[in-house]
Amino acid sequence: MRKLEVSRTDGQDGSYSQQFLTNDDLLPVPSENRTWAAWNFVAFWIADSFNINTWMIVSSMVQLGMSWWQAWICVWVGYGCVAPFIVLNARPGAIFHVTFPVVARTSFGILGSLWCVFNRGAMACIWYGVQASIGGDCVRVLLRTMWPSVNNIKNTLPESSGTTTRDFMCFFLFWLISLPAIWFPIHKIRHLFTVKAVVVPIAGIMFFIWCIVKAHGVGPIVHRPSTIHGSTLGWAMVSSLMSCVSNMATLVTNAPDFASRAKYPSAAGLPQLISVPLGFSIVSFIGIIVSSSSETIYGEAIWSPIDLLEKFLENNPSHATRFGVWFIAAAFIIAQLGTNISANSISAGCDLTALFPRFINIRRGGYIAAIVGICMLPWNLLKSSNSFTSYLSAYSVFLSSIAGVMITDYWVIRKGHYRVKDLYSMSKNGWYWYTYGINLRAYAAYIAGILINVVGFAGATGRTVPITATHIYQMSFFTGFGVSSLVYWSLNYLFPVPGASSRFEEVDESLSEDVVETTKDEGSGKGDSTSVSVRSVLAV
């Protein structure tokens, strides 16, 4: 068991409780690893927006009966609304250089934060498998361009497996090529997003122009009016807008993970606020035009870019066509790889590190997510799209309630005041110990944010519920966030938490305390090993 333990850079083994508090991956990020500049955050979001999910999310809006421009407005508004939440939750990470598991300690408590971390970590592992499954489809298209006979591989797997020999081979290849990317630490993986931000948009624009030329125009979808009107249209737009927001709920929650690597706090501010709605809206527009052109080419709208690329490979395509499909498929593989690393692998690594610090670091946590991703047989989940979509929507309720508490705690209750020393201490006098390590105010608010959407969720699973409950659930992110935020503020008004402040000032209170302690010790001629130890931790 000792051989399986994570090696510590400080050379100290320490007890489990000490490693739980001050694991190397949980301590404030050292200055040499704060390498993410403004451009890196822009590249990150441009890269993250170019993936199959974003491409297809607008299709559900058009299929609901909206016109293309109404669907595009929903995309702009949806991602425009979620971007400020990302920036707000990323701020403590950018200022104090700590990751999501540590930021969660400030509002939920040293021990209470573990449930939030488990929720986010479990979601990251599930999503890793789902994104890898989609990446496997991209690999299948790429292999077909080089070896068309791949499509004729004999199936030797039983029907109960839920997949075929060909599809599993492609999934496994994508899963395998993802493993080296997990090895790199967060401050170095930014280069992958830079490459993705260059290569994938080129492929997307190439696909865009290719389809327009092939269809001799933009196709009929852009001229088609909305088939729904009035309140039906209004709630369809609300539901579509919320699908964009829910798609980002996981990244809102763990926004501090990447912000902790920021060179300077402003790098995680305006660049994210602009690049999130801009990147996702451009990709959605490309998806609309490509699908519209496909209706002219094939007589039906093909909303999945993977299915459309496979159509291009039918009937003995030319070498030029095969090369074009190969390049676009390769770009989509890079897109899925980058999305899986950014949204799932790193998130799972940070979260599992907080749960099992003695045996797991960020790198090992990423590999655990990959193992879970293949063991969960994600292709079976994707077959039942309705139940899986309902599950993901329900999970966004849990995450929005967590984000509501965290953002309110930092911006409204504490107003930027932290005591970083107490984030790594179980002292009963610490700010974040609360009641046996759990902030009951936060959990009351968290549960309230979930309960407001429970009835609507029952309706989404097929139960008969009042229309009002359905509409509330359609806005689940905002209702969950709003209720949890309001309840948390109210409880803190009645029962203030330690460290609550009346003025906004982003400052680490423990730094000034250490200066006072050191001055006293020097005046008395006595050394204080605790004070020296704390300063060492903060220096790291």
User: CA-CA distance, 436 to 405, in Å (whole number)?
Assistant: 19
The token pair that represents 4 in the structure block: 């399986």
* Cβ proximity of 52 and 305 under 8 Å: yes
The token pair that represents 18 in the structure block: 């000490």
User: CA-CA distance, 278 to 170, in Å (whole number)?
Assistant: 32
Largest CA distance in the chain: 89
User: CA-CA distance, 217 to 510, in Å (whole number)?
Assistant: 63
Length of the chain: 540
User: CA-CA distance, 535 to 540, in Å (whole number)?
Assistant: 9
Q: What is the pLDDT of residue 294?
A: 84
Q: Read off φ and ψ for residue 354, nearest 5 degrees.
A: -70, -30
The token pair that represents 172 in the structure block: 């496994």
Q: Which amino acid is at 288?
A: I
DSSP string, 215-246: HTSS-SGGGPPPS--HHHHHHHHHHHHHHHHH
Q: What is the pLDDT of residue 19?
A: 67
Single out the residue of 98, 96, 30, 102 nearest to residue 510, CA to CA: 96
Our CA angle for 382, 387, 391, nearest 5°, is 95
Angle, to 10 degrees, between the axis of helix 230-247 and the axis of helix 68-96?
Answer: 30
Count of beta carbons in the 10 Å neighbourhood of residue 16:
10
DSSP string, 428-481: TTSTT-TBTTB-HHHHHHHHHHHHTTHHHHHHHTT----HHHHHHHHTHHHHHH
Single out the residue of 273, 225, 235, 356 nearest to residue 87, CA to CA: 273
Count of beta carbons in the 10 Å neighbourhood of residue 93:
25
Single out the residue of 184, 100, 125, 165 nearest to residue 354, CA to CA: 100
Count of beta carbons in the 10 Å neighbourhood of residue 267:
22
User: CA-CA distance, 29 to 178, in Å (whole number)?
Assistant: 25
Single out the residue of 95, 84, 46, 418 nearest to residue 260, CA to CA: 95
Locate the DSSP E strands across 246-354: none
List average pLDDT for each run of 10 residues in the chain, which is 540 residues long.
66 59 81 88 84 77 81 91 94 93 94 90 86 91 91 86 89 92 77 81 90 83 80 84 83 89 92 93 87 83 85 87 93 88 82 81 88 87 60 74 95 94 89 94 95 83 80 87 96 93 90 52 42 42
Q: What is the pLDDT of residue 533?
A: 43
Angle, to 10 degrees, between the axis of helix 113-146 and the axis of helix 52-63?
Answer: 90
pLDDT digits (tens, 9 = 90+) for 104-147: 999 999 999 999 989 888 888 888 888 899 899 999 999 999 98
Q: What is the pLDDT of residue 387?
A: 54
Q: With DSSP H G I counted as helix, E B as strand and the rest as coil, what are the percentages for the chain, rounded to 5? A: 75, 0, 25
User: CA-CA distance, 370 to 347, in Å (whole number)?
Assistant: 12
Q: Helical H runs in 97-112?
A: 100-108
Q: Which residue shows structure tokens 């209706």?
A: 295
Helix/strand/coil for 373 = helix
Q: What is the pLDDT of residue 11?
A: 47
Q: What is the pLDDT of residue 17?
A: 64
User: CA-CA distance, 162 to 459, in Å (whole number)?
Assistant: 29
